[in-house]
């Protein structure tokens, strides 16, 4: 039993985790002609909970209940992994990345979400406004504008040879590089980080 728990709690290498994620695409297509993605689940929730006369939400959301169950499973799995299967080892972050983050004021490397950024105290500050409100709005707007999220486009769209998904994923990556290497430091200084 301990060997199984050790296997579950250790990070899996990319050559195991990557193919397992990649195999969800043909499995969904073969088992039910379904497409993988997370962002559409918010639309399904809104359609189920707010039966207003808004054309965007007037469709048969019940056909997509599997997607809502998938998202629920992701949430439950994340809770179980965080609270019961967490690896007690310190997170391995390269020295160069630690130095870059320290220069931006991030000094907590004990968990996946640094408390320097992700804490209740920061929620109602300029940092919180930038990271959670403006950042959340930009992610939501970008997801809707791009017709899907990064996982949907990069995993499902590219593997099913969809040109818009290749284009969207390319610009997701460009935007990430631009934010990391050009915009992040000035924004952090602007909000006093």
Question: Given this model, what pLDDT does residue 15 score?
Answer: 92
Per-residue DSSP letter, 57: G
Q: What is the dihedral of CA 165, 155, 170, 96, to 10 degrees?
A: 170
Please give the structure tokens belonging to residue 129.
């406004």
d(CA 7, CA 1): 10
Residue 76's pLDDT is what? 95
What pLDDT is stored for residue 170 in this prediction? Answer: 92
The predicted pLDDT at position 191 comes to: 67
Helix (H) or strand (E) holding 52: none
Q: At 18, list the tokens.
A: 């990557």
Q: 143: which 2 tokens?
A: 């997801």
CA distance 45 to 190: 36
Under 8 Å between Cβ of 38 and 74:
yes
Q: At what angle do helices 14-22 and 24-32 cross, to 10 degrees?
A: 20
d(Cα 54, Cα 66) in Å, to the nearest integer? Answer: 23
pLDDT at 46: 83
Mention every residue, 6+ apart, whose C-beta is less than 8 A from residue 17: none
| Positions in the chain whose pLDDT score sits under 50 | none
CB neighbours (10 Å) of residue 150? 19
- Cα(10)–Cα(18) distance, rounded to whole angstroms? 15
Task: Tell me what pLDDT residue 178 has.
Answer: 92
| Residue whose entry in the numeric block shows the structure tokens 């993988």 | 36
């Amino acid at each position: 039993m301990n060997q199984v728990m050790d296997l579950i709690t250790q990070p899996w290498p990319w050559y195991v985790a990557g193919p397992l994620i990649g195999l969800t695409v043909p499995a969904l297509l073969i088992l039910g002609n379904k497409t993988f993605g997370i962002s559409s689940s918010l639309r399904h929730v809104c359609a189920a909970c707010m039966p207003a006369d808004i054309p965007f939400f007037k469709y048969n959301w019940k056909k997509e209940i599997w997607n809502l169950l998938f998202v629920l499973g992701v949430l439950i799995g994340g809770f179980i992994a965080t609270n019961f299967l967490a690896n007690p080892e310190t997170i391995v972050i390269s020295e160069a990345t630690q130095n870059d983050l320290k220069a931006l004021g991030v000094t907590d490397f004990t968990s996946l979400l640094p408390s320097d950024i992700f804490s209740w105290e920061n929620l109602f500050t300029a940092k919180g406004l930038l990271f959670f409100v403006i950042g959340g709005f930009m992610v939501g707007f970008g997801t809707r504008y791009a017709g899907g999220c990064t996982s949907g486009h990069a995993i499902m769209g590219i593997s099913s040879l969809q040109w818009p998904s290749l284009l969207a994923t390319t610009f997701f990556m460009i935007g990430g590089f631009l934010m990391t290497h050009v915009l992040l430091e000035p924004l952090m200084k602007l909000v006093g980080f």
